[in-house]
Amino acid sequence: MKPFVALTATVLAALVAAPAFANEAAPAPAKADLAKGEQTAAICSACHTADGSRGITANPILQGQHPDYIVKQLTEFKAGKRKNAVMNGMAAPLTEADMKNVAAFYGSKKPVPGAAKNKDTLALGEKIWRGGIADKQVPACAGCHGPAGAGIPAQYPRLGGQHTEYLEAQMNAFRSGERANSAQMTAIAAKMSDKEIKAVTDYATGLR
C-alpha cells in the first residue's frame, strides 16, 4: 500500500503544480513601441496629420483615441470587414505589432477639444445623446460612449471632439449598410432621421 500512496501523492503534486508551471511559461504580451508607432504614423500623416490631430474633416481624429479601438478598426480594414478603398490598402501590409504600435502612439496623445457649430440643434442633440429616442427605441449614446463622449475600449470609440462631418458620414454609412462592422450601430442608425443624426453628431463634437 505504501508504494501506491507515494505514487498517488506524486501524481497529485504534479497536477497541482502544472497550472502554476503553465502560467510561468506563458510569455508576457509585448509592450507597444511608441517610437516604431511614430514611424508608422508618418505614413498616415497625409490624411491624419503627424500626430492624428485635427486634419481635414473627412478623416477621423485619431489623437487620444483608444488604442484597442484603433487596432480593432485596422484589423477589420485589413480583413475587409470594414471597407474603405484607401484604408484597406493602408492596413494590408501592417502586422499585428505595427497596428499596436501606431495605435499606442495615437492613443498617447492628449485629445483636443472640439466645439458644436449649430446652436439650433444643440437641445435635440443633447436629448438624443443623454436619453435616446424613446418612440424609435434608439438608446442613449451616453450609455456606450459615456456622458462626455470618452468611449469604452475596444468596442466604443471616443467621440467627444471628433469631426462632426466624419461622425455624420459614419452614421449615414451605418444606416445605408455601406459600413457593416457593427451590427449594433447599423440597427441604431437605421431608425434615425437626417435631422437627428446631424443634431447628435454636432453635439458629440462639443463634448469634453
Residue numbers belonging to the annotated binding site: 44, 47-48, 87, 141, 144-145, 185
Residues 71 and 95 sit within 8 Å (Cβ to Cβ): no
Distance CA 11, CA 42 (A): 56
Q: In this structure, which amino acid lies at residue 89?
A: G
Q: Which residues contact 159 (CB under 8 A, 6 or more apart)?
A: 141, 145, 149, 151, 167, 204, 207
CA-to-CA separations, 57 to 6, 62, 129, in angstroms, rounded: 73, 12, 21
Distance CA 177, CA 189 (A): 10
The half-sphere exposure of 201 on its side-chain side, counting CA atoms within 13 A, is 20
**Burial environment of residue 68 by CB neighbours within 10 A (0 to 12, 13 to 18, 19 or more):** middle
Distance CA 53, CA 88 (A): 21
Residues belonging to the binding site for heme c are: 44, 47-48, 87, 141, 144-145, 185
Exposure letters 155-189 (e unless 16+ CB within 10 A, then b) = ebbbbbbbbbebbbbbbbbbbeeebebbeebbebb
